[in-house]
Amino acid sequence: MIGDPQFDIFEWHPAYQSCQKYFLDHAQHDGSVQAVAALVNICLPFQWSANPVMSSAGLSPHGTGPSAYPPTWTRHGPMPPAQRTGTVAWVSLVPYVRRLIVTGFDKDGILHGFFGDDWRKGIGPVQECERRNYLFAAKSVGWAKVKYQYDMSPHESVPFLRPLQNVHIEEIEGAEKTWSEWLAMEDWMVGPRAPETMDDAAGSS
């Protein structure tokens, strides 16, 4: 995604927005999507107990679900009431992609059902990054800590973890290269200290 020289954020973003709209307006109200969400134990936006999000046109103000944030969200505390009035919640699709990946449900048909016809362009890059993150998490720590990282709340803990599904050798090799770059980062082997092999790879990409 970010490391791909062919990735164009300005082409990706409209597709991602299309996936958000499809997810909110159609997918979350579909029985098949609801069944998958129930099995992997993640609430859909319309099921949030506080400020549910029913559709892209009827977003609730200042949603408090696991992936809802107002556009002017700040880490320094809640906004004053005057600022909250009329704000539109923004629903991230990343928590849903992550949950599908770690439970082995990030299959083409399921991703299409959740995110619509534009899922490859809008969700595909996110899926690629999160699959790699899952590999890195498994390599970094044990099962219990990996599960903890993917639990979202006491009520939305991940019920089971499955090894990454439908893996190709190119994905493993790409993850190995990026992991090596991270290990170099841990040893401050970046910039002028970067290993020559990484400099050569960066220059050829």
pLDDT tens, 174-202? 999 999 999 999 999 999 999 886 555 55
Number of domains in the chain: 1
- With respect to residue 63, please indicate whether it lies within any of the assigned structural domains: yes
Q: For residue 9, is pLDDT > 90?
A: yes
- Asked whether residue 90 is domain-assigned, the answer is yes
CA–CA separation, 94 and 133 (whole Å): 12
Res. 99: pLDDT tops 90: yes
With pLDDT > 70 as the criterion, what percentage of the chain qualifies? 79
**Mean pLDDT in residue range 65-80:** 41
Q: What is the mean pLDDT of residues 131-147?
A: 97
Q: Are 53 and 63 in contact (CB under 8 A)?
A: yes
Crossing angle of helices 143-150/124-140, nearest 10°?
150
**Prediction pTM value:** 0.82
Which pLDDT value is given to residue 67?
54
Domain hosting 29: range is 9-167
Domain presence at residue 71: yes
Tell me whether residue 192 is in a domain: no
pLDDT for the residue numbered 198: 59
| DSSP characters over 137-176 | HHHHS-HHHHHHHH--STTS--S---PPPS--HHHHHHHH
Q: What is the mean pLDDT of the chain?
A: 85
Residue 78 is predicted with a pLDDT of 37
- Assigned domain for 155 exists: yes
185 within domain boundaries: no
Average of per-residue pLDDT across 133-149: 97
pLDDT band at residue 2 using 50, 70 and 90 as cut-offs: low
Assigned domain for 98 exists: yes
